[in-house]
Amino acid sequence: MRSSVWLVATALLIPQLAVHAQEKGPGIYKVEFKIRDGNDAAAKAGRHYTLLMEVDHKAVFKVGNRVPVATGSFQPGAGPATTQYTYLDVGVNIECMVSEAGNGRLAMHGSLDLSTMMQNDAGSRAASPPNPTVGQTKLDLETAIEPGKPTVVAAIDDPANLRQFQVEATITRVN
């Protein structure tokens, strides 16, 4: 449900910001991320995420699921046991900010968190369901990018889980 709400909100917000950008003039940028997972045959072309933002303002994009994780339980008196939960964001979380760096380049700060649910060991038969194992790749970027030019800002060959990622960013001014 969370992903559809964010996608609908993004679809409604981008056209409004584009109109605002035309009225205001320079200082509004479109940041496009293309994330390729080399191990996913269906996603060879990559997944695309687009943010429209004003210069020097942070934009946040989240798509995925919130997964409940049991963090404790207690039993008041002779009553039934109550379990407490914390929720983990699993999916793609992007935070980004663009600044004008001079010399025709743009400075970009980006924080990308790519997480997935991992398969638990099916052989264990515990009385309660085990907490999930979350696979996570987190990137914090500080880089300069030439406007309009697709630039690979990160490439990861993770030996722990044998996944390969490539993150490409393109920033264009909206006028």
In tens, the pLDDT along 127-154 reads 566 777 888 889 999 999 999 999 999 9
- Please give the Cα distance from 92 to 110 (Å, whole number): 13
- Please give the Cα distance from 123 to 126 (Å, whole number): 10
In tens, the pLDDT along 12-64 reads 555 555 454 445 455 899 999 999 887 666 556 789 999 999 999 999 999 99
What's the domain range around 111?
2-69+85-120+130-173
Cβ–Cβ < 8 Å for 145, 171: yes
Work out how many domains the chain is built from and give that number. 1
